[in-house]
Amino acid sequence: METAPENKAFPVSWDMFHRDARALAWRLSGQGDWKAIVCITRGGLVPAAIVARELGIRTIETVCIASYHDYESQGQLEVIKPVDPAVVDLKDGEGSGVLVIDDLVDTGKTVKVVREMLPKAHFATVYAKPVGCPMVDTFITEVSQDTWIYFPWDMGWQFQPPLNKDTRG
């Protein structure tokens, strides 16, 4: 009897994440006249801060959407706080000049909800999975759909078992 494959682990250190978020800023520089950043909380907070610093963007807004309720599986999406209308209306009422930042696009469900709020915004993530890739405009690193990314803010120092779980020497 075949068992379902386990998710692959992709641990990301603070140094790696900072490097990748700066790479995202570098890739975004010159792509637009950004008036504001909207970060998708909570994962988008850290990369948004790094991108804002690197690109000199001072207007930073949040859209608060809960999707991973148990840190293991994506559940029902809940918009806790929508984007401030003043940010939506900066240019044309549809998000032109707005850069939407998140740490990861997985299935694209969260991005779809935010894109309905800001149809002309530019969506950028640090990491992307194949199903969600078409939903974003810019990303840095693609990982397989069955990969679970362990972000530095979710981890503590502990033993990591080897990929081959046979540790009998």
Catalytic residue among 103, 146, 154, 166: 103
Tokens of 65: 């959407």
Catalytic residue among 102, 137, 154, 166: 102
Residue 70 falls in the annotated catalytic set = no
Catalytic residue among 106, 137, 146, 166: 106
In angstroms, the Cα distances linking 77 to 80, 113, 126 are: 9, 9, 21
CA atoms in the 13 A half-sphere facing the CB of 100: 30
Peptide linkage before 168 cis (omega within 30 of 0): no
Alpha helix positions (H), 75-167: 85-88, 109-117
Residue 147 neighbours by CB distance under 10 Å: 15
Residue 106 falls in the annotated catalytic set = yes
Amino acid at 88: V
Annotated catalytic residues are 102-103, 106
